[in-house]
Amino acid sequence: MAQSKRLTLDRLRFALSRINERLWVKPLVLCVLSIGGTFIAMLADDLGLSDVVPEIAMESVESLLSIMASSMLVVATFAVGSMVAAYASASAGATPRSIPLVIADDVTQNALSAFIGAFIFSIVSLITVQNDLYDTAGMFAIFVLTLLVFAIVIITFVRWVDRIARLGRVVNTIEKAEKAAGDALDRRRRLPTLGALKASPHQSDDQGIPICSSTVGYIQRIDLETLQSSAEALACRVVVLALPGKFVSTSRPLIRIEGCREQCEAFNRDAFTSAFSISSSRTFEDDPRFGLLALSEIADKALSPGINDPGTAINVIGTMVRLFTLWQSPLEGSLEPPSYDRVSVPELVVDDLFDDAFTAIARDGAGMVEVSIRLQKALWALAETDDDAMVAAARKHSRMALARSERAMSLPDDIDAVRRVAAFSAS
């Protein structure tokens, strides 16, 4: 039951994340609800409420609906223009990889949906009112619905103005990328092998039957339940060779089948490859390394000569420390036992996470003393943890960052300042 529930929630989370990246979904839902609300108001006439509700003049309702119809289309057009500008700002000032996070902003999507839904509601209601489709109770109901829609639009507009002023800004984009990376790291921290058995990330591919992808792209999600059921049908074991976020081609194996019965040599390979969702782009939900890479790209762009914003890079370095602190923090309770006993999945390698997070910053910020010092202090903080793998990775990247700074800096005082911090972190 627990396995089935977790599987259902995992699939639902992945599906909702893809839906949030589609701007047309919420406006479409609000349009349908708006049209439905207009016709539901007609039911008030069938309930015999005409004698107990006040009589509303048709002219007042028409006036309200006309004002709404003429204004909401303009506001919706303005909202779309503002959103496009925010997306362009996020792409130019941060990184194009952050665009899905900006598009999935709930407040902005809800605002656009409310404006378009209010416009559709006013048009349909205006047509029904002018064609005398309502009696006294129905007219009162549509009047109440109109006031309710007005209130929703005003509240949504006030919230949206505050959000659109910050949407697409670098600081806001960093916050969104940090949350996405933190959520992915926390899920992987609780399920280091995605609920399967542990496999070595450097296992040999000599044994077993390799299964390659039929398409080229990035792995977005792995359906472990499909792999488990396919392995049970063949009485074999499955070793996953490619985690979410890895770029695969038709010559790169996704999995390796071990212990397969001789009579099953001609098994259906599509039954296994269908468990992998492969697309042309990476996603944040099941790919913690992508979140770290997006943050690193934001810092790297800020360090470019055209932008020259070391403060943003320093901000990202602090974000990395928070994320790695979350990664190595102890769990409440013990890890759940593996749910998929015929599937083996490798854990994430801490050194790979450090490469994604710090290599670009250390390379392009090597000539800036303030960035180099802050990076050494961050690595020193991570080297103080109880995680041996993280300590080794932090010290390795500290040495590499120091070597880059020594080659990039020309002022001896700057080099000595970075050396003192690096020596302190290595002690």
- How many Å apart are CA 222 and CA 240, to the nearest integer? 9
Of 12-26, 123-137, 246-260, where does mean pLDDT reach its minimum? 12-26
- How many Å apart are CA 332 and CA 335, to the nearest integer? 9
pLDDT given at position 10: 64
In 191-245, alpha helices (H):
224-234
Place of tokens 């589609």: 22
How many C-beta atoms lie closer than 10 Å to residue 235's C-beta? 11
Does the structure show a pLDDT above 90 at 240? yes
Beta-ladder partners of 196: 340
Does the structure show a pLDDT above 80 at 90? no
- Which tens digit of pLDDT belongs to each residue from 50-66? 667 788 888 888 888 89
- How many Å apart are CA 269 and CA 256, to the nearest integer? 11
Residue 322 makes CB contacts below 8 A (sequence gap 6+) with: 178, 182
The pLDDT confidence band at residue 362, using thresholds 50, 70 and 90, is very high
- Do residues 380 and 398 make contact, with C-beta atoms less than 8 angstroms apart? yes
Per-residue pLDDT, averaged over 377-398, amounts to 92
pLDDT given at position 3: 46
Which residue in 275, 294, 91 sits closest to 184, CA to CA? Answer: 294
pLDDT given at position 205: 53
260 against 75, higher pLDDT? 75
- How many Å apart are CA 303 and CA 403, to the nearest integer? 18
Place of tokens 């006031």: 147
Does the structure show a pLDDT above 50 at 403? yes
Strands 217-222, 253-258: pairing is unpaired
Strands 340-346, 237-240: pairing is parallel
Per-residue pLDDT, averaged over 399-403, amounts to 94
CA-atom Rg of the chain in angstroms: 28
- How many Å apart are CA 341 and CA 425, to the nearest integer? 42
Per-residue pLDDT, averaged over 235-245, amounts to 91
- Which tens digit of pLDDT belongs to each residue from 100-132? 888 777 788 888 888 888 888 888 888 888 888
- How many Å apart are CA 274 and CA 282, to the nearest integer? 18
In terms of Cβ atoms closer than 10 Å to its own Cβ (0-12, 13-18, 19+), residue 20 is middle
pLDDT given at position 322: 96
- Do residues 376 and 224 make contact, with C-beta atoms less than 8 angstroms apart? no
The pLDDT confidence band at residue 99, using thresholds 50, 70 and 90, is confident
Mean pLDDT of the chain: 85
- Do residues 393 and 359 make contact, with C-beta atoms less than 8 angstroms apart? no
**Highest-pLDDT range among 148-162, 175-189, 264-278:** 175-189
Q: What is the value of pTM for the model shown?
A: 0.82
365-377 exposure pattern, b = at least 16 Cβ within 10 A, e = fewer = bbebbebbbbbbb
Q: Dihedrals φ, ψ of 13, to 5°?
A: -60, -45
- How many Å apart are CA 150 and CA 118, to the nearest integer? 8
pLDDT given at position 419: 93
Q: N- to C-terminal Cα distance for the chain?
A: 50
Does the structure show a pLDDT above 80 at 166? no
The pLDDT confidence band at residue 296, using thresholds 50, 70 and 90, is very high
Strands 247-248, 196-199: pairing is unpaired
- How many Å apart are CA 302 and CA 312, to the nearest integer? 6
Measure the CA dihedral 203/206/208/210, to 10°.
90
The pLDDT confidence band at residue 216, using thresholds 50, 70 and 90, is very high
pLDDT given at position 208: 78
- How many Å apart are CA 285 and CA 273, to the nearest integer? 20
